[in-house]
Amino acid sequence: MLTTFADAQSIAEVFVAARQKARGFSSYPGKLPSDLEQAYAIQDAAIALRGGAPVGWKVGRINTPWLERLSVNRLAGPIFASHVKNGVADSPVTGNIFRDGFGAVEAEFLFRIGRTPEAGKTSFSLTEAADLIDSVFIGIEVASSPFPGINSLGPLVTISDFGDNNGLIIGEEIPDWRESGLESWLVEAQIDGQSVGQGQASAFPDGPLGSVQFLLENLIARGITITPGMLVSTGAVSGVHEITDGQHFEVHFDNFGRIECTIKYATA
């Protein structure tokens, strides 16, 4: 169990240095966080060490048995401008994962915050969360950590290393997103032309807007300012698909469109 700020700082230093040097490591660098407060303390320390404010946040699911232990069904991690890319069909881009670490890709709906919440507000209904959104895009999250056990040790460890995020690829904007029925779109993911998963965002608790609602409340509770333009990557629609260097990832969002990327190992 973490006992001091120094513990969180020490763990954050190892993760940040490994990311900067693009080097993997085999063992968790300290005592495992035992609750959400400790996990986000490590994440916050790592954000400060890295420098630069996040331009977006990924939201991931917390499932049984951790759901019962933590009493929350989602987690958050920062996304930085240097790892955000624009990608459209017929113009693939590159996503980076860590050699000797964990690497995966996820099909996501990306919601963009259009205005700052009312001062002093700490909780939101789904309607209130929706009212803060000005645009929605299709996208890909590149999920990677220099620590290969990032997910196998549970969500608290995932939270501690930027929520296992290492990039975001933004696709086409969805016109009239409120009326689009995107929650029911069938989303199919392919690696090297082979289907690896299908899903619908309606399978999320409260759909993708539930992820926006969670993130707003999470950030406010942590004292993090919510600003216009902030992106929310709302969760893996077709699953979390492990991938490696040189492989190609493509996602079809029902009849709306597609987005793709090629994966390469990160370099320092």
The structural domains of the chain, with segments of one domain joined by +, span 5-265
Percent of the chain with pLDDT over 90: 95
Give the number of other Cβ atoms within 10 Å of residue 200's Cβ: 16
CATH number of 5-265: 3.90.850.10
Cβ atoms of 167 and 83 within 8 Å: the answer is yes
Q: Could you give the CA distance from residue 122 to residue 30 in angstroms, rounded to a whole number?
A: 33
Q: Could you give the CA distance from residue 261 to residue 245 in angstroms, rounded to a whole number?
A: 12
| Mean pLDDT within 234-262 | 97
Q: Which of 114, 129, 111, 106 is nearest to 237 (CA)?
A: 106
Tokens of 256: 């709306």
Q: Model confidence at 90, in pLDDT bands (50, 70, 90)? A: low
Strands (E), 114-229: 133-145, 165-173, 187-191, 194-199
Q: Model confidence at 137, in pLDDT bands (50, 70, 90)? A: very high
Burial label for 11, CB within 10 Å (0-12, 13-18, 19+), is: buried
Q: Could you give the CA distance from residue 195 to residue 63 in angstroms, rounded to a whole number?
A: 24
Strand-strand pairing, 257-265 and 93-97: parallel
pLDDT, residue 213, reads 98
Residues shown for the chain: 268
Identify whether 65 is preceded by a cis peptide bond (ω within 30 of 0). yes
For every residue of 177-210, which 3-state class applies, written as one string?
HHHCCHHHCCEEEEECCEEEEEECHHHCCCHHHH
Q: Could you give the CA distance from residue 34 to residue 231 in angstroms, rounded to a whole number?
A: 29
Q: Could you give the CA distance from residue 202 to residue 21 in angstroms, rounded to a whole number?
A: 39
Coil, strand, or helix at residue 85? strand
* pLDDT for residue 107 is more than 70: yes
Q: Could you give the CA distance from residue 167 to residue 144 in angstroms, rounded to a whole number?
A: 8
pLDDT, residue 87, reads 86
Which pTM was predicted?
Answer: 0.95
Q: Which of 2, 52, 51, 50 is nearest to 30 (CA)?
A: 2
* Interval 145-202: pLDDT, tens: 999 999 999 999 999 999 999 999 999 999 999 999 999 999 999 999 999 999 999 9
